[in-house]
Structure 1
Amino acid sequence: MQEKVSDRLVGTLVDNRYAVRSKLARGGMSTVYLATDLRLERDVALKVLHPHLATDETFLDRLGREAKAAAKLSHPHVVGVLDQGNDGVTAYLVMEYIKGHTLRDVIRSKGALPPRLALALIDPVVEGLGEAHAAGLIHRDVKPENVLIADDGRIKIGDFGLARAVTTSTSTGALIGTVGYLSPELVLGKTADARSDIYSVGIMLYEMLTGKQPYDGEVPIQVAYQHVHKTVGPPSDLVPGLAAEMDELVQWCTANDPENRPVDGHALLQELRHIRTNLTNSELDLRPPAALPAGQPNATEIIARTNNPTAVLSSSLGRPRPQQPSRPPHAPPPHHALYPPDEPYPSGPQQIQYEQNFADQPEAAEPLPLSKRAQRKLDREDEKARSRAAATPVRNLREGNPRRRGILWIVALIIIALLATGAGWFFGTGPGASATIPTVANKTVAQAQQLLSQAGFQSRTNDVFDDDVSPGLVVGSEPAAGTEVRKFQPVALFVSKGPQLYELPTLTGGTLDQAKVALNQARMALGNVTERFDEAVAAGVVLAQDPPAGTPARHGTPVNLVVSKGPQPIPVPSVVGLGENEAVDAIEAAGLTAKVAKDQVFDRKIPEGSVVSQAPANGTLTKGGTVTLTISKGPKMVPVPNFVGKQAADAERELRKLGFDVKINNFLGGFFGTVRTQDPVDTEVPEGSVITLTVV
């Protein structure tokens, strides 16, 4: 039931140990991921706190204490807390991974459940809560989403420690919890105890029997108000024909006054099993009306709290609080043992399979009748029972010897005493006694086994990879150090094989982005990235890596990369005005290629054989780039006409059209404006030469 959603943590390594594989679910306080513990090579549920909680140092400190307390609770119906930490970026809890679905999924898919299935599903939840209550732990957020049903039928309740830590850290400012299941005392800001969990169980059982929660509203405060000012009605109002014992059980658990509820999970478990054993098959297998819909989940809500919560609730909805009911008449004192010593009801995976098989049958308005074969079997059993009763004398005709009876009583008492002594030894100092698992981390196998043997435990070893513990030393144990268990329970020692090494992938030849993806998939880290020019490789392509490809390395090893910047740019030198050979040498010395244009051009200023222009004239080229040179033919030779005797103005105009510069020398003021002499005249001179005219 994994949720395929893109997430920044998926595919990353948390705290250099937990490889996040996929996102499982998101709640009001955290997001849960499926991850692999690389140290112990097992799948775990990684609960990552939302940023607003992960930055609260006070909350993180409380969470650490609560996680340690929850980790000491070892019970088959409680999800185990395995680790807790904060790598500076991510605050997380590591819990046992239960592959399967939740009770919410069952209610959503089936709607109202038959009493047999409802009791079978709630039994392990109450048993797990009972063990938690005995250990001094209170859940505070019991709801169908926190009841996990494994594929093999195991049922566990999760989120111990987290709900307690969140509630503790916010008790002065806000009420955090799933509002549909909150007990009245939690709504009113009073101290919560085991009976608060019992209230939530009662609401959950009501929802399982009817397919809906007892209270609803448009806003959370309306639901909270009803928890305080109303009394949960009997589920038989919605499920006609439901046994009165089921009504009384629900209303006993959901009494407004905690004093009128079972004191803890163990007290409730006794009554629950008593009811389940004494109900008839037709009562247990009652089919709820098909019209009852599946219950809808409630998200975790945050409700502002003031110094007078009762006033807030009353003023919000304006209703008086009715008289609270007392415990149902049949309900016994919590310490009274109600569960009879006859044959127990099936439990465990067989029980859940039986209940679910029954629940999958076609629905009917009335209980299904017995088959003829089953009826004949019941008749035969009834006839045999009557025959045995008729053959049994009502009075023993042989009273027996009183002395013999006394001896038999003495022998029986001796046997009982021996059994009691044996039991006392077994559970006191023998294999059944409780002991605490010693700390064995970073010790040799021999030292660890000796410590466990001295504590009375038998151990076995499992080799695991570990990045931090030297090969041959113990990484840890299962159960963990500090856990109190019976001595006959075997202890597993995890012995380090050193870090697990993986071959580094080939990163050269690809782009930098491709290299980053490959490193992430191989669970390696990106080291230093340097750049250099390369004439043959395009920019952005990886040229080299260190360590090289194929090198064995542990997960998280940084790999340094050299990335191409492409060919190095070369400034184009300016060679205009240089002779042809000199210009070509300068271009080639810069690493470029010189190309001389086929056509030469006249130029007034650049002498013949020198460079008139180049393309490109400036900027940069890569190695081997081409610079085209245009060579000068020198200035163009132009014939000079003779303007002697002509008007100076006409002569100057014509000469300038031919590209000459004209210099006028006036003789005697140049009164007549006539050219008397011209220099040069009647010859060829370079274009742009100066022609001197003497004017009279």
Structure 2
Amino acid sequence: MFVADGVNQPATRVIERPAFDLDLALDDFGSGGRGSDEGSDRRRRLSLRGLLVALLAILLVGGGAAFLLLRTPTHVLGDYVSMTIEDARSELSSKGFEIAETGNYDEIVPAGTVINQDPLSGVSLAEGKTVSLTVSLGPPPVPVPTDLVGKTVDQATVALAAAGLKMGTLIDAFDENVAKGIVLSLAEGTGAEAPKGSAVNLVVSVGPKPRTVPADLVGTPVDAATAQLTALGLKVARDDAYSETVAEGVVISVNPASGATVAKGGTVTLSASKGRKPVTIPQSIIGKTVAAAETELKALGLVVNGVTGPPSGKVTGSTPAVGSQVKPGSSLQLTTR
């Protein structure tokens, strides 16, 4: 067909092409141009049609499976605010999310607790995406007072409270010069700042270290034992006693006993021997013969070394006098008439 477009224009021939007909194409393909009978051709067309449908179905299913396999899974974010950061990390990591953390001081929310999140809960997010968490660092730090040393525990408590802190553990320490109950220092590891409201530990004097009573005092001269105890900062009291076996002036016992601890300035009592117990010249020798009196005195450990008066007379006295106390082994004279 020819169409004239406008005046004095050459005619254009338009060739109309028939629309594609699947049935016709299948007929042509099935017939093979060999003039097969109609029944046989129809069976071929149906077979080819089924093959094409099957191929199309395979393409659709395969494409859908590939989409499902290749797409990134998504998850709806939970509410992590008020969770501990450890729990929030665990939950987000289990869902394949990356985590970005920042810390902020907060006087109310405990340290280590999530106080904000981005994106918010309820948002659907693909695995591998980042969730930002803001975590509480606890109360902001405040300066620790530097003038606590030398204060009493009560004074230090007041100073800490004024700085927004509180008294922590009191660590006892001996000190030869600082009285009991006085602050010696901040505890080891205490920084220049501490979280507001936190406890500050202090080292506090419990006074001088207790002294141990030496183990070699018994059997030593009392003057030497006294010098040892005095050098340790202890006081010495005496409670001497007679002894039949220990020489005079030698320590018999110590109280508290050797090995015991005594506060500096405390008292240790020494018992030193006063020697053997004195003997009293008995009144019973008066009126006895010299021989009888001498026998009685000898039994008491005394020695008669002379008689004043007739040796055959009766004893009327002695020197030292009757009733006097003398050391065992002492000598005396008898008086007779």
TM-score, structure 1 as length reference:
0.21
Q: Which has the larger radius of gyration?
A: 2
Higher helix share: 1
- Whichever structure has more strand as a proportion of its residues is 2
Higher relative contact order (CA 8 A, sep 6+): 2
